[in-house]
Homo-oligomer: A and B are copies of this chain.
Amino acid sequence: MSELKKYLNRVAKLTDATLDELLPPESASPSSIHSLMRYATFAGGKRVRPCLVVATNEACGGTFGNREAAYAGAAIEMLHTFSLIHDDLPCMDDDDFRRGKPTAHRAFNEALAVLGGDALCIFAFEILSTLGRIDIIREISTALGTSGMIGGQVVDIESEGKKVGKRTVTYIHKNKTAALIRASVLTGALLAGADASTQKKLASYGNNIGLLFQVIDDILDEESTTEVLGKDAGSDREKGKATFPSVYGIKESKKYADTLLEKALKDIAFLGDKAAILSDLAEFIRVRVS
């Protein structure tokens, strides 16, 4: 596992440097929104999505640290941050803290949080356009839309306080969380020129670890503490959120997590030795709960 930690650190450094290079400085006018964009982007995220872009890119023959993968990873991290900022708004999940820090609308104000999220979304597409790859813009925009991330967010909010079944909770997590993770993996593969069969297997891997990520997140919300999480523990239950534990129970959720991990590892078995980091990443996502 320590190889993975080193890898994650290398990607985090690469991503932070790239984001710092790309995002307008706080001094650039209008400075308030640039401050918010940087505040939210540098709030201590683990850079899991950029890591998936870079690691998949390397597994498919790309060189670590190449500009295209670094830019795409940074753009996807901006898109992820945009979704978190809007998700935290009072009219949405109404969260005051994220990763132990006040959320963007608390640290700044609501209007600026709406616009800062918008700006990160738009800027991500501007960055992606510099890569000259229409196929990647199409992949990512589809993953974000109403048949992807936004669709998942809508159903997530509309399911609050309602009794929902397995189909709904799977729909939410497949779209809200897994769609962008799957797109991150595919972006890395597309940048390395992976063929259709490789893309298909990696898309399945992305989908499985995306779901795994969310199952574990749901379990952590139930079992961990506010201190460890950096956000309110137990808040899903309090808000009546549709989560895997709320539908399957904790024990079955953990079993489901194991199945997803197994599937993910099978998806990338064809890569042989080159799958090492991607396998470790999947296991890393799983081991956060015992």
Contacts and interface: CB of A to CB of B under 8 A. Distances in A.
Chain A's interface size range is: 35 or more
Given A134-B134, A151-B33, A145 B129 contact: no
B118 A30 contact: no
Given A114-B89, A134-B134, A146 B123 contact: yes
Main secondary structure of the interface of A (DSSP, over half): helix
A224 interface: no
A32 to B, nearest CB: 6
- Copies per complex of this chain: 2
A20 interface: no
Interface stretch (A6-14, A135-143, A197-205, A235-243): A135-143
Interface of A: 24, 28-30, 32-34, 37, 82, 86, 89, 91-92, 109-112, 114-115, 117-119, 121-123, 125-126, 129-130, 132, 134, 137-138, 141-142, 144-147, 150-151, 153-155, 157-158
19 contacts: A29-B151, A30-B158, A33-B146, A33-B150, A33-B154, A34-B146, A89-B111, A92-B114, A92-B115, A117-B118, A119-B150, A121-B121, A122-B150, A123-B146, A125-B125, A125-B137, A125-B141, A126-B142, A137-B137
